[in-house]
Amino acid sequence: MTSSQITKYSLLARYLHWSMALLIVVQFSTILYVFVQGKADPNILAMIQAHHASGILILLFIMVRISVRYFSSPPTLLQDNFTVTERNMAKIGHITLYALMFIMPVSGYIIMDTSFYGTHFYAYSMPDLLSVDEPTMNKATFMHWLGAWVIGLCILGHVSIAILHRRKIPNFINRMI
């Protein structure tokens, strides 16, 4: 198989990949807006609601994405395109990203569910699964903050490695476009 014969991921897998990428950009940009503008900004509530709503969508999408990944095969590449170490690192990187894309929305849900505000998807109130509990909320907040840094670094690594592979295999990125 030559680099021009590399197949693509399924349309659903590609849609989920890029939709989640966009939602993660929304996550980072809305919370950055909140921290930069502060509580006095009139748009703060809309930004927080967008952050919560996109987090809930990410949680739903990652569950579908894991199912799609489990029930379908990724496009094949020649084994000699990558070393065993590169293939293992790719597996570790993808498992880490998938885990974080699940953990981040769950920790966000816990933060909101254990706060006095409750969890909302825009105007819709989400089910209360936990009672109001400040120590739990503080632990979840720390995990969410730490997870944001880790997922940000993982995404930076993911994009960097994809660009490096693009130099090695010209049509590599086309698999996900």
pLDDT digits (tens, 9 = 90+) for 30-65: 999 999 998 888 999 889 999 999 999 999 999 999
Q: pLDDT band at residue 101, thresholds of 50, 70 and 90?
A: very high
Tell me the mean pLDDT in the region 141-170: 92
Burial label, 150 (beta-carbon count in 10 A; 0-12, 13-18, 19+): middle
Express each pLDDT in 69-85 by its tens digit: 899 888 877 667 788 89
Tell me the mean pLDDT in the region 125-154: 94
Q: pLDDT band at residue 172, thresholds of 50, 70 and 90?
A: confident
Say whether pLDDT at 5 is over 80: no
Say whether pLDDT at 124 is over 90: no
What's the pLDDT at 112? 93
Give the whole-angstrom CA distance, residue 127 versus residue 121.
10
Q: pLDDT band at residue 141, thresholds of 50, 70 and 90?
A: very high
Domains of the chain listed by start with CATH number: 10-176 (1.20.950.20)
Two structure tokens written together for 149 = 């840094």
What's the pLDDT at 6? 53
Say whether pLDDT at 104 is over 60: yes
- Least confident range from 21-30, 102-111, 149-158, 159-168: namely 159-168
Burial label, 52 (beta-carbon count in 10 A; 0-12, 13-18, 19+): buried
According to DSSP, the residues that pair with 132 across neighbouring strands are: none
3-class DSSP state for residue 47?
Answer: helix
Two structure tokens written together for 25 = 């950009």
State the chain's mean pLDDT as an integer: 90
Put simply, whether the predicted model's pTM sits higher than 0.75 gets the answer yes
Residue corresponding to tokens 């632990």: 139
Q: pLDDT band at residue 117, thresholds of 50, 70 and 90?
A: confident
